[in-house]
Structure 1
Amino acid sequence: MTVFEVWVPEKTVKLRIDGTDRDMERGDDGWWRLDVPDAGPGTDYSYVLTEHDSPLPDPRSKWQPDGVHGPSRVYDHAAYPWSDGAWTGRQLPGSVLYELHVGTFTPQGTFDAAVERLDHLVELGIDMVELLPVNSFNGEYNWGYDGVCWFAPHEAYGGPDGLKRFVDACHQRGLGVVLDVVYNHFGPSGAYAPMFAPYLSSAGANPWGDSVNLDGPESEEVRRYIIDSVLSWLRDYHVDALRLDAVHALVDHNAVHLLEQMAVEVDSLSVHVGRPLALIAESDLNDPKLITPRAATGYGLDAQWADDVHHALHTLLTGERQGYYGDFGSLECLETVLTSAFFHAGTWSSFRRRNHGRPVDRTRVPGHRFVAYLQNHDQIGNRAIGDRLSATLSPGLLKIGATLLLTSPFTPMLFMGEEWAASNPWQFFTSHPEPELAEAVQTGRRREFASHGWAETEVPDPQDPATFQRSKLDWSELGKPGHAEILDLYKRLITLRREHTDLTDPRLDKVEVWHGDQYVVMRRGRCLVAANLAAVPQTVSLKAVPSKVLLATEPGVVLQRDRVELPAETAVVVYAR
């Protein structure tokens, strides 16, 4: 027997099964319910609103086998034969993350195909795999941020069972799973939930669509909708952590913010399932309140992305200064982010034309609460042609960037293919079936980059299937000259990070950085990291007596009394007495 339930506070609704409409009973809480004894798992169903004759999918659908416009299908979470009973979870502190997009990680673009590449991640030394959003969206392929069904995995990837097989396989290999989720807006096509109830706010919109109703009339059920989705991914799919997209776009004026409420309920679930669960925010606010414990009046999230670390590294390595990169690029800036995470911390932002951010308390906030990266889906895919660092940087500078990231006090994250300097771009792609929406995306993308000086002919058409195909990883590159060398360095760096506790010490106030003419040195306990960014050799002061070289990105490093001779574009990690 299946109990069908749907929240429709101001309209009448019927359940449709096998072409027959069935009356439902309305409760005082605005929920309509009906028990159907013969509707077991696999039964297709939809709802019909009085003001809309066409059948609509369930806003809480667990399975959309025919896409976001089709009927929902009854799915029984308890029926899946999990084999990860011995899995005790993975702590975020000390972990190395790996971000991937299911559709472009392999030629097949499915959960099952991704499983076949997990051993590569284990050999690399990855601890947690972070998936870009996988809940249902319209079309076959997409970045995932246009999702409209917040409980149902995308069918083209493998649907609910496919995601469970992927998580199960990760856990069997000792890999945790982080899932990227989007609760700040619904996608532009197939968002039927707002037709049932006031899921959207009348207060305004964000850059991606209408804001979600978190604090207006009837908002309690909307908040419950989001938190139930959060709990479902963690409980029903055994996911270990969630990355919350653009939380600065969650407009909530309640005394208890949605993020705090979310953290409380996830902590409770963690106790129930007996394994650590984490929430990681993406935020444009540079506000440590997100990761401040609730006992200290924070929201109590476990970590947040640290864009300022990326910007500091990217601009220093590439020399780019356009747009929001304008304030970054100096060695002083790099020193600030390596010791404090935020560059803008109550300081002037020329891009925003105002002061931005708040300082991090380096004595109380551990570095592992900041997820740092050289590259990610946004910082590659939102470039006009989706070019990776490997398209412009020399091998020497690529190695320096990897060394600084993986010896930093933060939780490092790699973007798929970064570890072997993948040569393919990762571009913005969509597959909207609606001609009007497709044209709007094409036009908007070209206008956006024209304002940054890119010619329209240089911006790939997001709707062109070739744009999607170009973004797929070429796994044949792993053993090729140049690529294999970078891969070996990433493996050695991750191993070194794990072997030396000084390199995973999260105390920001224990990080010391100094710099000179195109060189920088970072001290992490007895481990010193020195990088020569110049195109000529340099002798760099270590302010300590090195005893041995732990890792060098190139041969030719020479240790002296309290200094080291570095070849051009070289980084070294040394151990000091």
Structure 2
Amino acid sequence: GYNPAFHLAPDKYYGPADDLKRFVDACHRRGIAVILDVVYNHATGSSPLVQLYGPTPDNPFINIPARHPFNVFYDLNHEHPYIQYWLDRANRYWLEEFRVDGFRFDLSKGFTQKYTDNDVGAWSAYDASRIRLLKRMADAIWAVDSTAYIILEHFADNQEEKELAAYGQDRGRAGMLLWHNLNRAFSQSVMGYLNDPNFSSDLTTIYYKNRGFPTPNLIAYMESHDEQWLMYRMRAYGARQGSYDVRSLPVALDRMKLAGAFFFTVPGPKMIWQFGELGYGYGERGEQCLEGAGDSCPSIAPGRIDPKPIRWDYRNDPLRMKLYKTWAELLRLRREHAVFRSPETQVRMRMQHGVPGRWISLTHPELSVVVVGNFGLEPLVVTPTFPQTGTWYDYFNGDSLVVDDPNTGIELLPGEFRLYTNRYVGQAEPGLITVGVVSGDASTWPERVRLETPFPNPFRTQVTLRYALPEPMRVRLAVYDLLGRRITTLADGLQAAGRHTITWTPEKLAAGLYLVRLEAGGHTETRPVLFAP
């Protein structure tokens, strides 16, 4: 809990101390690590550290004025030997008495004595004294438990973070891990605002090596206790184009699946914020808006450290559970296959700002994977670079794709993604991907699948083909000769409900009678067409 007063006391939400100990033991029996989020940068007036000498500049334990611009309550003096002793004893107490597995340090960039003004840029610059203090603390922790996690909410100079990440690795330690905030980039991407000059939609730094880290010590996240929920931003501000509306709940849930596909598949540790896997955010009255996270929230909205409305009922919503199961499938793949975790995986990607058609290519001796997705607002052909030709398997729909050209284009509806593997690794639960299947205005849809008579017929140079779909469904429209040989495929993929038109212009084709066949949703219709050039 956010407890900057009594740093050795469990928050009441976790029950009495012995109950918390039993909880930690129960987690360990299930292979779950327990990491404490601790607030050692500052203390309230109730803290004994403040009470001993009072909230005055003469108190040797606190800094008045504070030594950094983001101070809360009273800034602790981490250069003082007694504060260092207190900090080390507190960490040891939690490690030994409660058997926790490590700590996430709130506002670790505040462990400094250098700054007395509000210059955020100077505070974020490389600070050798701050690095020394954090390394000293890490050594004291690892002396108690050499495997303890040390996670820093730092957001400082990249070289400083790289140095902290590497610390101790020459002695077999894991190094320190650092928070990596991708909330705004993912928000812009799922909202459909890919070209906004004020906010970047670039997702490339989700891969730690793209920030120059040789080891996976960046913990990437899309949402946190300080950042707005993606669902809230989609539902409140999402882009609209034609009938495609990001603010629609089914569409927003689809785009959360898309985000997950480009989040969990990249090597390096990830963090999920509470109920993100069920599309938490927005609510009927806007109560699932995070006050203080940069958006205009209604008065009912909770603040960043306030209790949040618990929506266990979301588990009874079939569409939200499809999101939950999609993320679960992605995590199962990550757990079972080293390609999604190994530092040896070769990673290539196209996820820059302004790019709607995005892809990730993962190559590992065990398995190769290509993830391709459409973050735009209209259908798109996305051309990834497959690392090899041959047969690739679509994990979520069970189809196979024969790749003769590494630059084979993949046709995707807005919000749709595919995950291909170069060998069969099973298939996800059917029906999880609902792009275009549960959204739109049903009153405008045709009543049944229907292929209209081609026009003109006969035709000399080109013919117009029209067909109607009563609901979004996977469609194949192809032309055959009278011996049943397929001449060309004009459409093959998921299409929205409504009326569609395709123009066919044959090239180097003999005159004669041909058959146009529409296959959609288990229904087949055929129309003859005469080519008479």
Q: How many residues align?
A: 370
Change (3 A) 1:378 1:255: closer
Equivalent residue, structure 1, for 2:109: 248
Alignment of 1:377-456 (within 5 A): 377-380=225-228, 387=232, 394-423=252-281, 424=283, 426=288, 454=296
Change (3 A) 1:247 1:426: farther
Equivalent residue, structure 2, for 1:533: 375
Alignment of 1:82-161 (within 5 A): 133=1, 144=2, 146-161=3-18
Quote the Cα distance in structure 1 between the aligned partners of 2:191 and 2:145: 42
What residue identity is the alignment partner of 1:227? D
What residue identity is the alignment partner of 1:245? D
- For 1:514, which of 350, 363, 366 is the aligned residue? 350
Alignment of 1:53-452 (within 5 A): 133=1, 144=2, 146-187=3-44, 190-197=46-53, 198-205=60-67, 206-215=70-79, 219-252=80-113, 254=129, 257-271=132-146, 276-285=147-156, 286=158, 287-294=161-168, 301-307=175-181, 309-319=182-192, 326-329=198-201, 333-338=202-207, 340=209, 342=211, 360-361=212-213, 365-367=214-216, 369-380=217-228, 387=232, 394-423=252-281, 424=283, 426=288
Quote the Cα distance in structure 1 between the aligned partners of 2:271 and 2:153: 13
Equivalent pair of 2:63/2:77 in contact (CA under 8 Å): yes
Higher relative contact order (CA 8 A, sep 6+): 1
Change (3 A) 1:339 1:227: closer
SS, match of residue 214 in structure 1: coil
CA deviations 1:75-100 (Å, max 9, x no partner) are xxxxxxxxxxxxxxxxxxxxxxxxxx
Normalising by structure 2, we get a TM-score of 0.61
What residue identity is the alignment partner of 1:366? T
SS, match of residue 392 in structure 2: strand
What residue identity is the alignment partner of 1:279? I
SS, match of residue 225 in structure 1: helix
SS, match of residue 226 in structure 2: helix
What residue identity is the alignment partner of 2:207? L
Quote the Cα distance in structure 2 between the aligned partners of 1:337 and 1:156: 33
Quote the Cα distance in structure 2 between the aligned partners of 1:322 and 1:151: 47
How big is the shift at 1:255? 8.4
> Which structure has the larger Rg?
2
SS, match of residue 414 in structure 2: coil
Equivalent residue, structure 1, for 2:416: 570
Determine if the alignment matches structure 1 residue 549 to structure 2 residue 421: no
Runs of 5+ unmatched residues, structure 2: 54-59, 115-128, 239-245, 247-251, 424-533
How big is the shift at 1:426? 4.9
Quote the Cα distance in structure 1 between the aligned partners of 2:131 and 2:46: 31
Quote the Cα distance in structure 2 between the aligned partners of 1:422 and 1:319: 19
Runs of 5+ unmatched residues, structure 1: 1-132, 134-143, 343-359, 429-444
Quote the Cα distance in structure 1 between the aligned partners of 2:99 and 2:176: 18
Percent identity (aligned): 20
Superposed CA RMSD = 3.6
How big is the shift at 1:411? 0.5
Quote the Cα distance in structure 1 between the aligned partners of 2:93 and 2:195: 41
Equivalent residue, structure 2, for 1:122: none
Change (3 A) 1:547 1:234: farther
Change (3 A) 1:256 1:472: closer
Quote the Cα distance in structure 2 between the aligned partners of 1:574 and 1:186: 51
Quote the Cα distance in structure 1 between the aligned partners of 2:349 and 2:13: 48
Alignment of 1:442-481 (within 5 A): 454=296, 458-460=298-300, 471-481=308-318
